[in-house]
DNA sequence: GTCTATACAGTGATAGAC
DNA sequence: GTCTATCACTGTATAGAC
């Protein structure tokens, strides 16, 4: 059988998907091995810190992706454009609700305490970035804060409900509703 | 050491709390034993079906509680009164966001597939009950459906964010915002 | 970098004494 | 009903060959 050689970046992306689907506790090493095709040897070569290091790197990877594709545009680009861009990016990223938010999953059980800093950082930056964009688009500061928080809440909630009902239309519908409520 | 004798109802309530805090995979038998004070002997006496039966009964218990305290009032009582009652009940139940939704937690990882029916039933009945109340309060049917779904989404999302940020005010703020948007 | 073999604690579950 | 002892198995992690 042909050996497949991975780079670390590939490994992180593959492992991320397993954590996303199964949660931290549900993602056992054997399931990670089985779903990624990476043997234990490879996994511990890439992540000498073991399972906790895998999850930490995966969180950092997700945060980096959002920083580049969502947070920075909101912070720096033309605000209405960045907000419109966010709806599309988010819809693609969560595959219209079929995939879910790894950070959200980690928030709900005791995994939160293991990665408290990374989890808090992700959400606070998202809310702050969106608030700034709204302010620059002409919204009053306090209202912008409330609105930004409400958007993140509804995205997370829509992911929960989408998955609970096996119904992708929930997420798409929520995105459309939010887009209509915010400055365009 | 004094032996404490439990009834099954006590056992279900105690076990529920462990699943809520740790999730299905995180709630190992030893952690359940340690946090409830119930030995394995007692647990398997109450739940011959093992861990999966524990979670199933816990889900049924949660559903029963919501049926009595949230769904039936929405379905049968004066709608504006039932909606006002819901905000208070929910706030207490989730201890203002410090506690989270067991059904929501189970929705996000592979646990969903284990209890798909119970999970879907809980959310569909909640949304349908709220939609009916809104219709009886004078809202047009389709708008009532959208609004009911949005409320459940935002409650779930607020629980995620509350926990992620260690910030209870998120949940309280969301409840107030929702209460202001719905008929009173 | 990937594999195999292996350590050893922890997993869900059962049986029998009280 | 509750306890203790124990089962077979899976959990994370490590070591060494290639």
Strand D: which bases are under 7 Å from protein Cβ? 1-5, 10-17
Asked if pLDDT for residue A10 goes beyond 50, the answer is yes
Strand C: which bases are under 7 Å from protein Cβ? 1-5, 10-17
**What integer pLDDT is reported at residue A6 of this predicted model?**
74
Smallest Cβ–Cβ distance between B108 and the set A123, A163, A165 belongs to A163
Closest alpha carbon to B21 in B5, B38, B34, B39: B34
**What integer pLDDT is reported at residue A136 of this predicted model?**
98
Among residues of chain B, what percentage have pLDDT more than 70? Answer: 97
**Cα A13 to Cα A17, A49, A147, B81, distances in angstroms:** 7, 17, 32, 50
Instruction: Centre a 10 Å sphere on the Cβ of residue A62 and count the other Cβ atoms it contains.
Output: 21
CB contact under 8 A, B170 and A153: yes
**What integer pLDDT is reported at residue B96 of this predicted model?**
87
Asked if pLDDT for residue A7 goes beyond 80, the answer is yes
The separation, in Å, between residue A4 CA and nucleotide D17 C1' comes to 19
pLDDT digits (tens, 9 = 90+) for B114-163: 999 999 999 999 999 999 999 999 999 999 999 999 999 999 999 999 99
Residues B85/B5, Cβ–Cβ less than 8 Å: no
SS3 B115: coil
Q: How far is it, in rounded angstroms, from Cα A67 to Cα A85?
A: 14
Q: How far is it, in rounded angstroms, from Cα A12 to Cα A83?
A: 28
Nearest protein residue to the C1' atom of D3, measured from CA: B41
CB contact under 8 A, A108 and B21: no
CB contact under 8 A, B165 and A116: no
pLDDT digits (tens, 9 = 90+) for A86-123: 999 999 999 989 999 999 999 999 999 999 999 999 99
Asked if pLDDT for residue B168 goes beyond 50, the answer is yes
Residues A9/A57, Cβ–Cβ less than 8 Å: no
The contacts found for A121-124 with CB under 8 angstroms, 24 or more apart, are: A121/A63, A122/A59, A122/A62, A122/A63, A122/A66, A122/B164, A123/A152, A123/B161, A123/B164, A123/B165, A124/B165
CB contact under 8 A, B153 and A154: yes
Q: How far is it, in rounded angstroms, from Cα A109 to Cα B163?
A: 9
Closest alpha carbon to B118 in B101, B131, B132, B106: B106
The separation, in Å, between residue B53 CA and nucleotide C12 C1' comes to 12
Residues of B with CB below 8 A from A154's CB? 150, 153-154, 157
pLDDT digits (tens, 9 = 90+) for B36-50: 999 999 999 999 999
pLDDT digits (tens, 9 = 90+) for B35-93: 999 999 999 999 999 999 999 999 999 999 999 999 999 999 999 999 999 999 999 99
pLDDT digits (tens, 9 = 90+) for A41-70: 999 999 999 999 999 999 999 999 999 999
Instruction: Centre a 10 Å sphere on the Cβ of residue B76 and count the other Cβ atoms it contains.
Output: 12
Asked if pLDDT for residue B1 goes beyond 70, the answer is no
pTM summary value: 0.96
The separation, in Å, between residue A65 CA and nucleotide D12 C1' comes to 29
Q: Which residues from B are below 8 Å from A when comparing CB atoms?
A: 21-26, 100, 103-105, 107-112, 116, 119-120, 122-124, 146, 149-150, 152-161, 163-166, 170, 173-174, 177
CB contact under 8 A, A105 and B104: no
Question: In this structure, what token pair is assigned to residue A158?
Answer: 């829509």
Count CA atoms within 13 Å of residue A38 on its CB side. 25
Q: How far is it, in rounded angstroms, from Cα B115 to Cα B52?
A: 9
Q: How far is it, in rounded angstroms, from Cα A160 to Cα A155?
A: 9
Asked if pLDDT for residue B2 goes beyond 60, the answer is no
């Amino acid at each position: 059988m042909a050996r497949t050689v991975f780079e670390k970046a590939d490994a992180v992306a593959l492992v991320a998907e397993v954590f996303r689907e199964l949660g931290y506790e549900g993602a056992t090493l054997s399931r990670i091995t089985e779903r990624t095709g990476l043997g234990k040897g490879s996994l511990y070569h890439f992540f000498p810190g073991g399972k906790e290091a895998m999850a930490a790197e995966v969180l950092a990877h997700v945060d980096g992706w959002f920083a580049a594709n969502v947070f920075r545009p909101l912070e720096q680009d033309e605000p209405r454009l960045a907000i419109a861009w966010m709806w599309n990016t988010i819809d693609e990223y969560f595959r219209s609700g079929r995939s879910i938010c790894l950070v959200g999953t980690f928030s709900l059980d005791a995994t939160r305490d293991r990665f408290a800093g990374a989890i808090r950082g992700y959400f606070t930056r998202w809310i702050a970035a969106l608030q700034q964009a709204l302010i620059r688009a002409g919204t009053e500061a306090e209202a912008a804060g409330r609105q930004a928080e409400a958007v993140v809440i509804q995205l997370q909630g829509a992911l929960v409900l989408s998955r609970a009902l096996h119904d992708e239309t929930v997420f798409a519908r929520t995105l459309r509703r939010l887009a209509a409520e915010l400055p365009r």
